[in-house]
Amino acid sequence: MKTTENSLPTIVKYVESNYAGIHLLKLNRCAIGYVTRGTKYIYYGDSRHTISKGDVFYMGVGNHYVEEVMEDGRSFEEIVAYYTPEQLQRILLYLNMSYSINITNSHQCERCRRLNHVALPAGSAMRSFFTHAGSYLHDDNFMHDETAENIKMTELIYLIISQTDGCLKSKVLNNVDSARDNFEQIIYSHIFSDVSIECLAEKSNRSLTSFKKEFKRHFFMPPHRWFIQQRLMQSRLLLISTSKSISEIGIECTFPNTSHFIKLFKKQYGTTPAIYRSTHSNGLLTGMPSGSSSMQRGYAADDVRVESIAL
């Protein structure tokens, strides 16, 4: 597994042997994965999206609130491939130049446009790919062979772009724009920072007007509203999965004071943080095994950072 910024796409297998609750994953590269055992959940506010065993999924750069659940007491397992827009662009160019593949994408839908992930049942070719990739990961020669890794990643991208137009293909092909990816990385890295919109515009080398237009094009709402929404989503998960006080959560989610946090939370969810906690904290984790987080994950430093939310 490679951990340098200039490394080729990396394919890794993750094993979660203990139930670890909800996690905040901060991806610095795009990910295409396959659940080989257990169930994966991705949260957006009050909605929970299920990725089942046998599903292939895409997760974009940025923050993801996820939960991995074991299967009949056996470890949760998934195989994930990471790539940057530059690496994807090289692969697509190679496929076009070497095999005259006409790469098109006309798919548009509200679901994949607004969510930062997609998931669908893997077809036979995709299942076969990840089965073979899992076998390769047991081979030390493959783990240190950049050419072998690149061949497998090229095969995966080919399998995706040769499909009929759909959400997964659309998400992957939208990653070719490295400028878009860099812009989103800047935004995601400052969600919980006390930084002004003017400062973010400067960091992204845009005028304030240009920044606001670009922001709305990427995130479909004005900056201030989007940042509040992201911070409230984080506060909701902290309320239902930790014993931190209301004031502690407000501070952690970058709200100026507790009363302001309570006011915004009530406006968004229709109730106060305290009532929300008492109503939802038990229901979300009903039937889930207890236990502290014990991660057996080889996350590469340049791929992802994991913050455990469950206590």
Three-state SS across 10-43?
A: EEEEEEECCCCCEEEEEECCEEEEEEEECEEEEE
pLDDT at 262: 96
- The distance between the two most distant Cα atoms of the chain, rounded to a whole number of Å, is 61
Each residue's pLDDT tens digit, 225-236: 999 998 998 898
pLDDT at 282: 53
∠78-83-87 over CA atoms, to 5°?
150
DSSP label of 71: B
- AA letter at 77: E
Structure tokens at 247: 């004031």
Structure tokens at 141: 């020669």
Residue with tokens 């997964």: 168
pLDDT at 117: 94
CATH number of 179-284: 1.10.10.60
* 107 close to 169: Cβ distance less than 8 angstroms: yes
Domain boundaries, the chain: 10-175+295-308, 179-284
pLDDT at 295: 29
pTM for this entry: 0.72
Each residue's pLDDT tens digit, 136-190: 887 776 666 788 888 999 999 999 999 888 999 999 988 776 666 678 878 888 8
The domain 10-175+295-308 having CATH identifier 3.40.50.12160: the answer here is no
Taking the C-alpha atoms of residue 282 and residue 302, their distance in angstroms, rounded to an integer, is 35
Given a cut of 70, the residues of the chain with pLDDT beneath it are 1-9, 45-46, 141-144, 177-181, 281-311
Taking the C-alpha atoms of residue 142 and residue 174, their distance in angstroms, rounded to an integer, is 29
Domain 10-175+295-308 identical in fold to domain 179-284: no
Taking the C-alpha atoms of residue 87 and residue 156, their distance in angstroms, rounded to an integer, is 13
